[in-house]
Every structure is written in structure tokens, then in C-alpha cells.
């Protein structure tokens, strides 16, 4: 066989493994676990907890005035049967985020809102975790203290039953951390091309089924929506134990798992991100700011990742086209088969995002963009720009692993 044929058959073998052996990552059926049901005289209803626990919703916010009118009212309007409050932590905003939050609460009513401003983070803390720490501490100081903390980003909108369903699932299944991957905004052409693939790649790296097993094979969470038991947060010493984490959601999940906590992660049906990424530049910055941190700022892991993306995503279409042009039947057949499997595994995610299935064969091009974003993330790191976000830059001393 020609070298191209060897690469193509190797890629096909990898895709056979990914299809069947990587936790069925491509399926989109991991949704919020259903609560037990009771028979209501012919009808079946979700069984509510005997007592609805107290919940504090903690929202870190830095310069979020543009999205807050779309997200905060949805939290204040939660249809939750138990006691609940919202704590918004204004993390050094310069656009009036804190003032706007108070105005929205006065205008919309609903759950009580507290706005606090902790000041700049101390050395060794990332901004978001500094803000979360202050909000969580304030909530725990209440009498009585909340039994659950909902950690949610300022760009996340919740349906009215979101909190109720999260708590129901946690109580019914004795879970310490329940996290949902918010449905990201997909409106512009670049969002359609890049955003569903972002969640697809995340699930490939952290298969939800593996995370949710009784004996888990992976650990992760989605930072936009995390329901956490307060006693578990104390036992895991979060967020202090992960205060340097750039990728805070995965670090949080690992800290909870190390403390013996039970974790569930899945796709959301009632939680949506309202943050727009209309152009490629915004999406590029969103990915590249933490891509190299995900690889622990390790050049060997970067080289392996680039090689893997080339073999898995770029070789199939190249082998099909080059093999067909040169008469290399093995390369063309293997490349085409690998591309077909790749395309098929992407279809469920496109359906979840309600996008046209004609985008599925374009996944190799999207993977190339992600490859370039990852390389750019490394370049920015070695230029001393690190993981930059909203005016803050985190250097090599800030890592993606918790407890380091």
C-alpha cells in the first residue's frame, strides 16, 4: 500500500474505535436524569422532594451589561417551590453591571437579589473563581445556610423550571454535582460552523456516559450551569483548592470527585447561552484563550494533539480526493469510509442544535480551524499573553488542573 493508503486505513481504524469505544460520545441522549414518577389515577407525574431544599444562585459577572437583561430576569423568575435567592458578584466591571443588575431586580421582581463587589482578585486567583468564592461565602453565611449552590454564568438564561428540575434530579439520584452543557447560541454562519463542533469535541474528550457511570471513567462539568451541594463544596474546599484554574469547570468536577462526590453531566434542554459570537474573531478568542491550558501548557501534548487532529479529521477527505485523483483505490476507499463515519457521528449534535445536516461533511474544515486556534493559543502563551479574557491575562503559573 502507498503511504497515503496507510494513513487512510489508520484513520478509519481510529474512527471505528471512536464510534464504538469512546463512550458513544456522539450520542446526545444524556439529558437531565428524570425524577421518579408516581401514578396519579391514570396520569404519571414527576414526584417532588418531600422538602424543597434552600438554594443560593451565585452569578459571577464582569462587564456583562450587554447580556444581563437577557439572562438575569430568567433567574429571578425561577418557579422554585422552596426558598431561593440570587447573589450576583460584580467582578470589577466598568460598564455598570452591578447597577444594572439592581435595576433589573427592581423592574422584574421575583427571587431576592444581592449584588456584591469583592474588589480585584488576590494574587494566585483567577477572576471568576475569586468572584465565585465571595458569592459562595456570602451565601453560606446566611442563616440557615443553603443546601445547594447553583453556579451559573452571567450569559446563561434559564427556563422557569430549570432550578426545580436540577434540584429534583440531585435529590432523587443523590448527586453532589449536577451540570448541564448550556445550549450555545447558533445564529450567524460562523456560529453554525464552529459552535456545535465545540460541544462535539468536548464530548469526545469527556464522554458524558463515562462521567455518569457508577464507576466513572472521566470527570468534567460545564461551568455555565453547575448545581453543587454546599457540604460537598466545603469538603472539596472549592473554590480555594482550584483558585489558579483557567479551565475552572473541569477542575471543579475533579475536586468534587476527589472528595468522594457523585457527578452528572449532560446536555441542556432548559438552559441557553445568550452570548453572541457573530464573527470568527470572537469564536477564535473564545477557543484559543484556554486551548493550550487544556493541554497543560505542554508542547509535547500540543504536538500530539496536532498530529491527532491531522490523522483523524484531515486525512480522510485528503485521502479520498487524492486517492481518487491518483487511482489509489485503497486510499480513496478508506478515506471515504472514515469521512462517512465522521460525518455520521456529527449528525446527532447538529440535530440537537437544530442545524441543517449538510453541515456535517464540513467537520474536517472546522477541525482545521480548531487546530489553528490551538496552535495560536500556544503562540500567545509563549509570547507572555497567556489565557487573556476581559482585560486579564493568566500566565503559566495558572493551570487547568485543580489543586496545583
Q: Which is higher by pLDDT, 201 or 246?
A: 201
pLDDT given for residue 383 in this prediction: 86
pLDDT greater than 60 at residue 39: no
Q: Is 83 exposed, middle or buried (0-12, 13-18, 19+ CB in 10 A)?
A: middle
pLDDT given for residue 257 in this prediction: 97
pLDDT given for residue 241 in this prediction: 96
Query: Residue 403's pLDDT band (boundaries 50, 70, 90)?
Result: very low
Query: Residue 33's pLDDT band (boundaries 50, 70, 90)?
Result: confident
pLDDT digits (tens, 9 = 90+) for 104-145: 999 999 999 999 999 999 999 999 999 999 999 999 999 999
Interior angle at CA 400, CA 394 and CA 403, nearest 5: 105
pLDDT greater than 90 at residue 390: no
What pTM was estimated for this model as a whole? 0.93
pLDDT greater than 80 at residue 206: yes
pLDDT given for residue 246 in this prediction: 86
Cell 509570547 sits at which residue? 383
pLDDT given for residue 397 in this prediction: 54
pLDDT digits (tens, 9 = 90+) for 282-320: 999 999 988 998 898 899 999 999 999 999 999 999 999
Query: Residue 396's pLDDT band (boundaries 50, 70, 90)?
Result: low
pLDDT given for residue 49 in this prediction: 82
Task: Answer yes or no: are the C-beta atoms of 236 and 221 closer than 8 Å.
Answer: no
What is the C-alpha to C-alpha distance for residues 82 and 86, in angstroms, rounded to an integer?
13
Query: Residue 173's pLDDT band (boundaries 50, 70, 90)?
Result: very high
Is the backbone of residue 110 left (phi > 0), alpha (psi -120 to 50) or beta? left
Contacts of 205 (CB under 8 A, 6+ apart): 220
Residue 264: how many CA atoms within 13 Å on its side-chain side? Answer: 21
Of 176, 265, 179, give the one whose Cα is nearest residue 218.
Answer: 265
pLDDT given for residue 385 in this prediction: 74
pLDDT given for residue 34 in this prediction: 67
DSSP 257-304: HHTT--EEEEEEEEEEE-----SHHHHHHHHHHHHHHHTTT-HHHHHH
pLDDT greater than 90 at residue 183: yes
pLDDT greater than 70 at residue 267: yes
The rounded percent of the chain whose pLDDT value lies above 90 is 86
pLDDT given for residue 47 in this prediction: 62
pLDDT digits (tens, 9 = 90+) for 332-377: 999 999 999 999 999 999 999 999 999 999 999 999 999 999 999 9
Average pLDDT over every residue of 253-269: 97
pLDDT greater than 90 at residue 401: no
pLDDT greater than 60 at residue 38: no
Average pLDDT over every residue of 76-91: 97
Amino acid at each position: 500500500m502507498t503511504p497515503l493508503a496507510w494513513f487512510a486505513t489508520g484513520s478509519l481504524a481510529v474512527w471505528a474505535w471512536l464510534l464504538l469505544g469512546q463512550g458513544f460520545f456522539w450520542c446526545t441522549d444524556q439529558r437531565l436524569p428524570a425524577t421518579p414518577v408516581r401514578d396519579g389515577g391514570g396520569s404519571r407525574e414527576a414526584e417532588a422532594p418531600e422538602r424543597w431544599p434552600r438554594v443560593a444562585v451565585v452569578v459571577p459577572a464582569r462587564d456583562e451589561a450587554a447580556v444581563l437583561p437577557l439572562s438575569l430576569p430568567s433567574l429571578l423568575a425561577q418557579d422554585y417551590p422552596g426558598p431561593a435567592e440570587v447573589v450576583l458578584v460584580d467582578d470589577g466591571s466598568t460598564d455598570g453591571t452591578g447597577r444594572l443588575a439592581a435595576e433589573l431586580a427592581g423592574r422584574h421582581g421575583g427571587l431576592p437579589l444581592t449584588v456584591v463587589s469583592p474588589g480585584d482578585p488576590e494574587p494566585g486567583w483567577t477572576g471568576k473563581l475569586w468572584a465565585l468564592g465571595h458569592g459562595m461565602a456570602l451565601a453560606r453565611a446566611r442563616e440557615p445556610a443553603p443546601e445547594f449552590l447553583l453556579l451559573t454564568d452571567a450569559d446563561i438564561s434559564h427556563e422557569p423550571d430549570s432550578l426545580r428540575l436540577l434540584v429534583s434530579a440531585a435529590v432523587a439520584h443523590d448527586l453532589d454535582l449536577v451540570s448541564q452543557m448550556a445550549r450555545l447560541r447558533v445564529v450567524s454562519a460562523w456560529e453554525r460552523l464552529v459552535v456545535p463542533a465545540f460541544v462535539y469535541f468536548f464530548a469526545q474528550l469527556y464522554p458524558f456516559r463515562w462521567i455518569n457511570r457508577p464507576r466513572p471513567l472521566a470527570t468534567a462539568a460545564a461551568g455555565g450551569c453547575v448545581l453543587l451541594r454546599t457540604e460537598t463544596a466545603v469538603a472539596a474546599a472549592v473554590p480555594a483548592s482550584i483558585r489558579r484554574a483557567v479551565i475552572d469547570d473541569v477542575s471543579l468536577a475533579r475536586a468534587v470527585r476527589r472528595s468522594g462526590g457523585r457527578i452528572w453531566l449532560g446536555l441542556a434542554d432548559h438552559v441557553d447561552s445568550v452570548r453572541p459570537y457573530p464573527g470568527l474573531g470572537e469564536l477564535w478568542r473564545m477557543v484559543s484563550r484556554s486551548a493550550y491550558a487544556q493541554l497543560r501548557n505542554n508542547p509535547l501534548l500540543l504536538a500530539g494533539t496536532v498530529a491527532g487532529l491531522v490523522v483523524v479529521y484531515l486525512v480522510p477527505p485528503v485521502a479520498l480526493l487524492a486517492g481518487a485523483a491518483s487511482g489509489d483505490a485503497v486510499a480513496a476507499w478508506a478515506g471515504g469510509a472514515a469521512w462517512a463515519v465522521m460525518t455520521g457521528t456529527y449528525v446527532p449534535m447538529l440535530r440537537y442544535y437544530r442545524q441543517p445536516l449538510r453541515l456535517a461533511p464540513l467537520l474536517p474544515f472546522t477541525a482545521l480551524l480548531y487546530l489553528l486556534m490551538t496552535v495560536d493559543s500556544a503562540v500567545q502563551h509563549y509570547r507572555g499573553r497567556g489565557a487573556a479574557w476581559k482585560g486579564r491575562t493568566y500566565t503559566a503559573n495558572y493551570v487547568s488542573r485543580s489543586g496545583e
